[in-house]
Amino acid sequence: MDLTSKPQHVLDIASLSSEEINSFLELGEALKEVLKRPIPKVPTLRGRLVVLLFYEPSTRTRFSFDRAAKALSADTLTFSAKGSSIEKGESLLDTVKNLKAIGAELIVIRHPMEGAPHFIAKHINIPVVNAGDGTHEHPTQALLDLLTVKEKFGDFSGLKVAILGDIKHSRVAKSDILAFQKMGAKVYVSGPAYLLPTPLEEEYFRIYPGGFKVCYDPKEAIRDADVVIALRVQKERHGKPLIPSFIEYQTFFGLTFKELELIKKGALLMHPGPINWGVELSPEVEQYPFQVILDQVENGVAIRMAILLKLLTDGKTYEVTH
């Protein structure tokens, strides 16, 4: 498999072309075979050091990157702000410089400040992967979401993707909105009016005419959808209460089997996690036959393997038979 289309960093979906996105998806698909082997590991990145620099809590993303690196035989170091020199006043840039000095060859960073991955990418000459920066973007989540949808539908042309929830504060939503449009799908979003994009933001997110629409009625967003992505309410980013109660949110915007009657037959139900059952999703919909939430988690490992491989192999050729 030719890896000659090699990006230097993965900082956001906005800066990736559809060709670059597709190359990640194709490699991710191929690498899933490795994860199904009796010994799910290849030696491709043996001796390489990947640092997981997480300033915010994470379960799926952090462990997924760790699993991806180890499946490629890379070594990993996991950093958390608590208990580090951050508590003594060390800056982000100094932290990164020190990690590079001890041998880091790629840094995966999650940070509460928008633009933090872009900042360090300008100051160090090793690849940087954005694992979520504030409310800006979460590009690797969008890539694994694309892979999950591609496995079901083959391509994205003409698909209607509905995203429901706290769009304004969700980095996943922003990456998904751009990613699905770049691959040919149409994206509809809905949620409480004060958690939706402003008209100016709506223009920014619309990549092509008719490609993006803000719906104030969630039924309009999900009607005849091929894919429905539910999001949690990001109360930790609100600063002040923006919803009266979770009960009220669930009443108007939560998904039950009744709402799922509006979507296309065989449409996918997705969620990036963590899920607040009984808020954005009724517990009963876990039994929906086309719910693919754990498929997303599985695909997260494969797509992150693809990202690490592309950024660290200098465009060499990789065969999954290794």
Binding-site annotation, residues for carbamoyl phosphate: 60-61, 110, 138, 141, 273-274
d(CA 176, CA 12): 11
> Nearest to residue 48, comparing CAs of 127, 121, 163?
127
Binding-site residue set for L-aspartate: 88, 171, 232
The CA distances from residue 63 to 52, 68, 78, 251, 301, in Å, are: 10, 8, 10, 33, 9
Q: Which residues contact 101 (CB under 8 A, 6 or more apart)?
A: none
Strand order in the sheet with 227-230: 212-215, 186-190, 160-164, 227-230, 268-270
d(CA 193, CA 180): 23
Q: Virtual CA dihedral for 301, 304, 306, 310, nearest 10 degrees?
A: -160
The CA distances from residue 291 to 179, 213, 285, 294, 296, in Å, are: 21, 24, 8, 8, 10
Binding-site residue set: 60-61, 88, 110, 138, 141, 171, 232, 273-274
- Could you list the beta-strand ranges (E) of the chain: 49-54, 75-80, 106-111, 128-133, 160-164, 186-190, 212-215, 227-230, 268-270
DSSP state of 321: T
